[in-house]
Amino acid sequence: MANVAGSLPDVVAGQAAKSVRGLARLRLITGYVLMLVSLVGLFGADWDIQWHAVIGRDRTFTPPHDMILASIGLAGIVALVSILVETRWAARTSELRRYGTDFLGILHSSLGSYLVGFGAVCSAVAFPLDTYWHSLYGVDVSLWAPFHTMIYMGGVLSTFGIIYMLLSAAHLAQEQQDRKTALFSYAGVVALLGMLLSKFSTFLTPAISGHALPLASLSVSLFPFLLALAAVFVCVLAARLLPWTGAATMAVVVYLLVWLLVSAFVHPMMTLLVQVEHQTYLARASRIGSNIVAMLGQTPFLLLLSLSIDGVAWLGRRGKWTLSRLKKWVFTASTISMFFVAGLTLVQIALSLRTGQSSGGGAGGHIGLAFLLALILTIPGSLIGGWLSLAISDTLQTLRR
């Protein structure tokens, strides 16, 4: 009798451990499905920017729009299903409740699922609003229009949701010593951070041409500031969230792989669809040439930034630096390397477009000064990006839900 009484808590604990392990795996699978869905949306968005630039916009349901809409719809559905499944599991095994977040006292799920759902709703709502905006202002609406921003940021929000979900899976798996699940979860986070960087870089495209900071007779490009903000944010986040040496570089490598995939995908799809739909190219298509507009702001030079951040993190780990010292050096390394990355990228873009306008050049022969001022803006960009990622990664590490 005493034996039975003694073993009962063990059995219950064993079942709970099994359930927690199952929960980690469920979050891992859901996270990977959502990541694929998000990748479809990313391809659709890059293709759509190219479509707008060289074809225009002749209806709401173009093939690239269909890809974006499918991605939004699927993300919403998968998030909803995952919330319902986790709620059911939590109802059956009360132990699981402490690994989820309560919503209205009815639903219990990972915080990430709610974020993905919110992002999907935002993007879905933005779609008809964007059609309305185009009906007012035409096809030449910039990527930085209110409802393009809403669609895009909805996608970014969803990506953060998936990162939360996979981190939670990794933490749960580590608690249960399920190494495989933890490994795949962290690998998913690396991939998502690479995709996030790709999304941010695409969204920066308008800063390359047109949107500049007027300063006396100069026109200073905002691109270096924004690139520094986005790139340092993602790279520091990778270095802080992942327990691996070289995490920031891994994220940048994924970002470059996405770059290659989009390069391989957009051109043939454009050619094919122009033929199938009997479309005609706009006059500016000849000026754009073989550039993929959405990727003008993307650059392999970001490896310089990620390597410097990873290098500092490695040195800090070896030398057992204090956290404040490590943060100081990460800020310094990222600011210096971003200065060079932004400079090289601006030169690369200028060469790619074969025009001096895109390099943030000002009027009246002040191109050099405008270029220098634009580069100086990388300093506040890097500092804000680094500070934001430190604040967010701290909460992410503490709240493991």
Partner 1 sequence: MRKAIQLFLCLLAVASLIVTGVAFYQIVLASTIHGAPVKFIDATAGPYSIKLALYNDPINAGDAIPFNIAVAPGTRGPLTYSVTASPGFGVPGSLAQGDVNPQQSTQYGVPGSITFVTRGPWTLNIVIHGPAGQGTAAIPITAVAPPAMPGWLAWNIGLLPVYGLLIFWVVQTRRKAVRSSEREKAERPVPAETMKGVS
387 binds partner 1 (CB under 8 A): no
Q: What are phi and psi of 177, to 5 degrees?
A: 55, 35
Name the segment binding partner 1 (CB under 8 A); options: 133-141, 199-207, 288-296, 318-326: 133-141
Of residues 102-131, those binding partner 1 (CB under 8 A): 103-105, 115, 117-119, 121-129, 131
Angle (CA) 161 44 116, round 5°: 15
160 binds partner 1 (CB under 8 A): yes
For tokens 């920066």, what's the residue? 204
For tokens 């659709």, what's the residue? 44
Q: CA 311 from chain center: how many Å?
A: 23
Contact with partner 1 (CB under 8 A): which of 81, 264, 272, 391?
A: 391
Q: How many CB atoms lie within 10 A of CB 14?
A: 11
State the nearest-atom distance from the C-beta of 88 to partner 1, in Å: 19
Are 43 and 66 in contact by the 8 Å Cβ rule? The answer is no
Residue closer to partner 1 by CB (options 153, 336) is 153
Contact with partner 1 (CB under 8 A): which of 61, 268, 286, 364?
A: 61
Residue closer to partner 1 by CB (options 76, 316) is 76
Angle (CA) 8 13 15, round 5°: 95
Of residues 137-156, those binding partner 1 (CB under 8 A): 137-140, 145-150, 153-154, 156
Contact with partner 1 (CB under 8 A): which of 278, 318, 320, 354?
A: 278
User: Distance between CA 339 and CA 109 in Å, rounded?
Assistant: 42
State the nearest-atom distance from the C-beta of 35 to partner 1, in Å: 19
Please count the residues of the chain: 401
Residue 250: name the closest of 166, 191, 336 by CA.
191
Q: Where does this chain bind partner 1 (CB under 8 A)?
A: 55-61, 103-105, 115, 117-119, 121-129, 131-140, 145-150, 153-154, 156-157, 160, 277-280, 282, 391-392, 394-395, 398-399
